[in-house]
Structure 1
Amino acid sequence: WVLFVCFILFLSGRRGLTKGLEITSANQPPIEKAQGEKVTLPCTFTLAPEDQGPLDIEWVLIPTDNQKKEQTIVMYSADRIYNHYYEAMNGRVQFSVPDPQTGDGAINILNLKSTDTGTYQCRVKKAPGVQSQKIQLIVLVKPARTKCYIEGVQETGRDLTLKCVSQEGSPLLSYSWRKSTGTEELPATSLLNKDTGELSLKNASQEYSGTYTCVAANTVGTDECFVVLNITPPMNTAGTIAGAVIGTLLGLFLLAFLIFCCCKKRREKKYEKEVHHDIREDVPPPKSRTSTARSYIGSNHSSLGSMSPSNMEGYTKTPYNQVPSEDFEHPSGQNPNFPPSKVAAPNLSRMGAVPVMIPAQSKDGSIV
């Protein structure tokens, strides 16, 4: 029995010393690379004499969500390479060596993107051996588009804050400030927050003036910006307020004056228009030409009738001497006490009549 037990132990020891397929690059730490760079994911292995099957090397991307399936990236099988499984990495992934059968199944990923971050697994199969390893890849983005600005009033005795922020960049970002002009030292009252990039300045003085530079950094790169700080004496607030009030009052007065002038001008135009088109009732209508002619005749008649015979010497009597001398008989039934309708000119002169010049008239009575 003792010999039998020793024989069994001898066989078991030989089996334990026999090694099959083994991956020698296992237990790799996480790899950090910057966006746009190239990374090599190692996967070296050794084979045993008993591994006689075909060699297969497969790289897969393990999703963070367990509900999703693994995504094959590249494969080596039957002496051929297949690298068109993953569309997001088409043309960017390849084996590091032309013939992975030499024991090097590492791959290169070119032009890294932030979406390439994840856990990758290398699987080596050569029947009957099967081995695998996992590697975590972290693609970091360098700080970029960093901006600096000042928050607060740049006056003596005031508190203000210099702020710095990168619009791009993978965490954890770290910020630092330095003064680029003058003493090139930050004020003694300054307080820096490296995580937020804020530099607080208390009770500012003119010595704080100068150019300040902010540097944003992470493990893959840096970016910077600058801002110019100019501390000035405080402004005369009372004078500024008084000037603003006076200016406002003058503006209101000018506006009121313009409105008054416009209203006055409008009222004048309206009055002129009403007077122009209004027919006044207290003005009598113009007299007709007939009435005017009669008035003129009457006035001339009265004025001529008051003239003495001596004043009539200038008037010619020839037309009156030519008046027919025959008398008209009284029509039947006419009152004989009335003078005849026509009297001869000599008889009129003897009766003391005064000749009167009567202007010629038209049928409607207007003077011709």
Structure 2
Amino acid sequence: MGALPRAALALAALLGVSSAMLEVHVGTGSVFSVEGQQVVLPAWYTSRSQKKPYITWLLDREDADPFQILTYLDGVVKVEETELKPRVGFLYSVLTHNISVLINATRERDSGQYMCTVNVVDDVTSTGKNVGVINLTVLVPPAAPACQLHGDPAVGANVTLSCASEKGKPSPMYQWQRTAPTLQVFFPPTQDQARGTLKLSNLSLDMSGLYVCVAENRAGSAECSIVLEVHSTSAKAVIAGAVLGSLGALAIIIFFARQVVTYRRKKRDSQEEAANEIKEDAVAPKTPSWARNPASDTLSKTSTLSSIAGAREKPYGARPPSDTASILTATGSFRGPPPQGGGRTPNLSPPAVNGTPRRHQEPAPARGPVPPAGLAQVGAVPGMVLPQSRAGSLV
């Protein structure tokens, strides 16, 4: 950089302009540097005076007002900006009219517009001729990017690979590629080089492999990689399905259990209501009148029937049938219809044997239905069938 100002001064001397007015010159209007490297801002001035100049370098950043970083006054160099103090200075001796500035270990914040102003006591200059401007841009290489996988790499699914660097000036561009055994480079629209995304659709098992992302700008490059393993089934889906299935089965069991409990409860309540209705509507059974008769009455009636049966077993004279039913008295005597022959009652007493009169026997009743009055006297109930002998008589 120092050869350019010297050649310019020599050329000015040859052209006879060494006695021209004061003027500042710059080697280039824009300078680029990579962060961490060294940079030179080339500048020189022309003047017919031999006295020492007054030189000032200023920095105008986008986020701040212009401020002084370096000065030369009465042979003394002074760095005004503390951030640049250990890294900035003049490249050559000022007395050589070469006022180029050297900046070591540049940083991104060193970027901006640098202005150089020169004044000499006994020299005349026109407005703006004594100022030189150089724009410095410090480039920042991409930081190591981070590669990420978005989505489940199952067969038939869609996933997205992303790649991003935290810093880089200018903003880096991203390029995805698949490495060996199958080398493949991707282009838009599959990948977005500005955003660093790569979309893979309808995955298959042969799409598994190592994918590398390269972030690159004018200052340099960096890369990251990710291994894509495509599987045939989704473990998450299987687990989720199992969990949902278990919950569904549990819900069904609980539902049916509640239905069974409700059904049994309703059935029990209905049975209890039916039992209560039966108890309320039921009438106590009535004891039959014959069951309430004392035992003595039953024995008396039984004895009467037995005596009647005994009397009937003995022979007796035949009598014509009567239209009127015979009636049994309470004492066992027979009361029949009046005699038909003149109203006299025949003597049915048997003759005496050896001077001893025989027991008087009552004539047997006519065969026929026993009237209800007679049955009531012997303790029978309506509908009751009395025992009979082979001849049809009561037993």
Residue 55 of structure 2: aligned partner: 57
| 2:55 partner amino acid | I
Could you say what secondary structure the match of 1:167 adopts? Answer: coil
Q: 2:104 corresponds to which residue? A: 110
What is the TM-score with the length of structure 2 in the denominator? 0.53
Residue 66 of structure 2 corresponds to which residue in structure 1? 70
Instruction: Give the whole-Å Cα distance in 1 for the aligned partners of 2:88 and 2:235.
Output: 68
Aligned letter for 1:195? A
How many equivalent pairs are there? 235
| Contact kept? 1:118, 1:137, Cα under 8 Å | yes
- Does the CA contact (< 8 Å) of 1:31 and 1:136 recur in 2? yes
Q: Is the 8 A contact 1:143 1:166 kept in 2?
A: yes
| Alignment partner of 1:94 is 2:83 | no
SS of 1:243's equivalent? Answer: helix
Which TM-score applies when normalising by structure 1?
A: 0.56
1:217-232 matches, cutoff 5 A: 217-232=216-231
Report if the CA contact (8 A) 2:152-2:234 is conserved. no
Cα separation, 1, equivalents of 2:236 and 2:103: 64
Q: Distance in 1 between matches of 2:150 and 2:105?
A: 39
Q: CA RMSD in A?
A: 3.3
In the TM superposition, residue 249 of structure 1 has moved relative to its aligned partner by: 8.0
- Tell me if the contact between 1:57 and 1:122 (Cα under 8 Å) persists in the aligned partners: yes
SS of 1:89's equivalent in the other structure is coil
One-letter amino acid matched to 2:57: W
* Closer/same/farther in 2, CA of residues 89 and 238 from structure 1, 3 Å limit: closer
Question: Which whole-Å deviations, capped at 9, do the CAs of 1:266-311 have from their partners, x for residues lacking one?
Answer: xxxxxxxxxxxxxxxxxxxxxxxxxxxxxxxxxxxxxxxxxxxxxx
**Which protein shows a greater Rg?**
2
TM-fit CA distance, 1:192: 1.4
Partner Cα distance (1:16, 1:221) in 2: 45
Aligned to 1:125: 119
- Distance of 1:139 and 1:78 partners within structure 2: 32
The one-letter code sitting in structure 2 at the alignment partner of 1:96 is: L
Change (3 A) 1:122 1:197: same
In the TM superposition, what whole-angstrom CA distance separates every residue of 1:321-357 from its partner, at most 9, and x where no partner exists?
xxxxxxxxxxxxxxxxxxxxxxxxxxxxxxxxxxxxx
> What is residue 26 of structure 2 aligned with on the other side?
25
Cα offsets for 1:232-261 (capped at 9, x unmatched): 113489865563356558999xxxxxxxxx
Query: Aligned ranges for residues 62-211 of structure 1 at < 5 Å?
Result: 62-64=60-62, 70-83=66-79, 85-97=80-92, 99-126=93-120, 127-130=122-125, 131-186=130-185, 191-211=190-210
Q: Structure 1 residues 121 and 189 mapped into 2: Cα distance closer, same or farther (>3 Å)?
A: closer
- Which 5+ residue runs of structure 1 have no aligned equivalent? 1-14, 253-368
Distance in structure 2 (CA, Å) of the matches to 1:208 and 1:186: 13
Contact 2:176-2:186 within 8 A present in 1 as well:
no
Q: Distance in 1 between matches of 2:75 and 2:188?
A: 69
Q: Is the 8 A contact 1:62 1:71 kept in 2?
A: yes
How far is 1:147 from its partner?
Answer: 0.1
Q: Where does residue 296 of structure 1 map in the other structure?
A: none
CA distance in 2, matches of 1:189, 1:43: 45
Amino acid across the alignment from 1:104? N
Between the aligned residues of both structures, percent identity stands at 26
Distance in 2, matches of 1:236 and 1:59, equals: 66
What per-residue deviation string (whole Å, max 9, x for no partner) do you get for residues 83-134 of structure 1?
Answer: 2x1112121111112x211121111111222221111111122232451110
Kindly tell me: are residues 17 and 58 of structure 1, through their superposed partners in 2, closer, same or farther at Cα, counting changes over 3 Å?
closer
Q: Distance in 2 between matches of 1:123 and 1:238?
A: 72
Say if 1:231 and 1:17 are closer, same or farther in 2 by CA, change over 3 A: same
Gaps of 5+ in 2: 1-15, 252-395
Task: Report if the CA contact (8 A) 1:42-1:105 is conserved.
Answer: yes
Change (3 A) 1:77 1:148: same
Greater shift after overlay, 112-121 or 235-244?
235-244
